[in-house]
Structure 1
């Protein structure tokens, strides 16, 4: 929960937090299970500022660049930013792989099952069901 404390210290208002879930790794499968949770927070930061702040928190908590999709001490992602659609070289919102990642959808369905994906036009519960049936 150190990440949550860091976010609060940086002015974020935490609205909702999911439970923590232990899930199988995605991408590089030969690594320990993931521990995941989803947080809904409010911030005055613009999307690019938000991304920079999350990377700063990761560094403060000891994250180091390693193998892509490899083990890491912390990984903070922007899943949604209201209902905005942002497509930049270094920032995609909603997160491009959100609908393919059980480790994201599982905690997200706990706190925002009716949140509609602004691109796919389906809610989180539907995306989770589709992934389960794939």
Structure 2
């Protein structure tokens, strides 16, 4: 069994319902959710929108290989209502987004479709805050520092707030 770390998010529609559905589908199609963070609200990252995001980190035990996890994620996103992440190279509002942050200690940089660890996770407070809650001591396989150290060093100025649970 492998341990895959995911971050889910969305800023359109009933955000809590969408993330709840994403977690249910992950549990059904990818593997057992071992632990999940609280919900965190943040401003959109990388584009302007009046709609704040809700994010959550999940640690999942899976029998699936990395590309199979990615395929299931894409299917889950579409089933929940995802259209595209970007338009003309610009990020856009979305119902749900699921990113693979870590897959065990695997390092994959050869394929732009799947880069592990996630290439921007250390720059994004909305990823690091929920991840810190459930895995502060997890070590980034290429940077060789903990999630806690990454959060402490993060220069992202977007505010991240703990949000309500459902």
TM-score class, shorter-chain normalisation, is over 0.9
SS in 2 for 1:41: strand
Q: Give the length in aligned residue pairs.
A: 134
* Deviates further, 115-124 or 1-10: 1-10
Divergent runs of 4+, >3 A: none
Q: Does 1:62 align with 2:81?
A: yes
Question: Which whole-Å CA distance do the structure 2 matches of 1:8 and 1:121 have between them?
Answer: 29
* 8 Å CA contact retained: 1:112, 1:124: yes
TM-score by structure 1 length? 0.94
Q: Is this contact kept in 2: 1:31–1:71, CA < 8 A?
A: no
Identify the structure with bigger relative contact order (alpha carbons < 8 Å, sequence gap 6+). 2
Indicate the residue corresponding to 2:69 in structure 1.
50
The structure in which a higher percent of residues are strand is: 2
Could you tell me which of 104, 112, 123 is aligned with 1:82?
Answer: 104
What secondary structure is seen at the aligned counterpart in 1 of 2:102?
A: coil
Which residue in 2 is equivalent to 1:92?
115
Which 5+ residue runs of structure 2 have no aligned equivalent?
A: 1-19, 158-166
Query: How many Å apart are 1:28 and its aligned residue?
Result: 0.4
Matched, 1:17 2:40: no
Q: Deviations over 1:76-97 (max 9, x none)?
A: 0000000000112211000000
Q: Is contact 1:31–1:70 with CA below 8 Å preserved after alignment?
A: no
- Provide TM-score, normalisation by structure 2: 0.77
Cα RMSD, aligned residues only: 1.5
- 1:30-77: per-residue Cα shift (whole Å, max 9, x none)? 341110000000111100111010000000101012533211000000
Q: Give distance in 1, aligned partners of 2:44 and 2:97.
A: 13
Provide the C-alpha distance between the structure 1 equivalents of 2:69 and 2:106, rounded to a whole number of angstroms.
Answer: 14
Partner of residue 73, structure 1? 95
